[in-house]
Amino acid sequence: MKKTVCELFAGVGGFRIGLNASSQDWNFVWANQYEPSRKSQHAFECYIKHFGNNKNHVNMDIAQIDKKDIPEHNLLVGGFPCQDYSVARTGAKGIQGKKGVLWWEINEVLKEKKPPFVLLENVDRLLKSPSKQRGRDFGVMLGCFNLLGYSVEWRVINAAEYGFPQKRRRVFIFAFRNDTEYAKNIEDDKLKHWMHNVGFFQSQFPIEDSDSSNKDIKNIDFDYNDLVDISDNFSCKFMNSGVMSNGKIYTEKTKPKYNGRYTTLGDVLERKVDNKFYLNGALDEWNYMKGSKRIERVSKEGHKYIFSEGTIAFPDPIDRPSRTMLTSESSKNRSTHIIQDPETNKLRKITPTEAERLNGFPDNWTNTGMSQKFRYFCMGNALVVGLVSKMGEELNTIFANEK
């Protein structure tokens, strides 16, 4: 099978870098990146600087694109926002997804192009959203895949637990059409066996054998009439790993099994860093932001409550993987990483290059004319490309076995 890829919500190209590292045979036939709330399209400009400016690299709202115009492809990839996926019936008794939600654009691509394989990435809270109906949103996603003839496997992966220098936890969703050669290996009554032995994630991201006393295991009959039925009535405590095939769901809380070398924040630090990254003046504000606190506040409704938060290490230890980077990295706030430089012993922020290294991007990948602040923002949004490289290795095998 030809290894053709369509990349949605491409950002600065994390999926593409990762897959290309696993094989040079991946042919990216179309990519879309668009920031609706920004005049400057810095992420897209970064993408085309590295991968070329052509008609198949599109800087346009995906909702405005006719899905028929997207080239045929065998793998659809993308990292998309976690939003409200609810659906309702229209006056004509059709089904309408919540307007403006990007999942429904992915669903339209799936309907139109029917790619054999799909690899998506999202924040792990997707499995629990919304708070008032836990698991509904992911249930709607699974319902869409099921109706379109796909099976799905998912896994929450903390990059640090498989040797990468950042504690970045994301859910990866691998879907495969039920008429592929790959799908012939799955048996609806042996979903646990699939997940633990032959599934998509197991070879590159092994997990511990299941403990018979594990109470965090569920077998679910996904028996719903349509997506509205799921949206209105479905709730489930999805675990960090699971698989769905032909209306059957198996989900289990799993533990990683890794025997390799662990990479630390200290392993990615630059030497001889510019003075502008060092902290100047009193550290009282930093100490306060990083410290634990209990503060009485008043809600909009006039109710008093206690806001509390724990301590964050100050400075951040460099002998272990870093905390998760957020889009606000480098600003004066609680989540920004502050380290004690091993050469000067002075406190400083991490540099944009160090932020890129924490996600596995090449040095200065985002140094394409965007502001320093936006370079950090891009890395706060990005995935760990090394995880995609490992998934690419498994995809190489899968594609080699397809007709």
Locate 357 and state its tokens: 């290294």
Give the Å distances, CA to CA, from 235 to 87, 132, 137: 14, 9, 9
Contact residues for 184 (Cβ-Cβ < 8 A; gap 6+):
none
**Cα 146–122–161 angle (5° rounding)?**
115
In 3D space, the residue among 256, 241, 219, 230 whose CA is nearest the CA of residue 127 turns out to be 241
Residue 288 burial by Cβ neighbours in a 10 Å radius (0-12, 13-18, 19+): exposed
User: Of 124, 116, 85, 120, which Cα lies nearest the Cα of 103?
Assistant: 85
What stretch of H or E contains 353? helix 352-358
Question: How does DSSP classify residue 320?
Answer: S
Told to judge if 82 belongs to the known catalytic residues of this protein, a careful annotator would answer yes
Token pair 């992915």 is found at: 106
From 82, 144, 236, 378, active-site residue = 82
Strands (E), 265-335: 293-298, 304-309
Q: Kindly list the catalytic residues.
A: 82
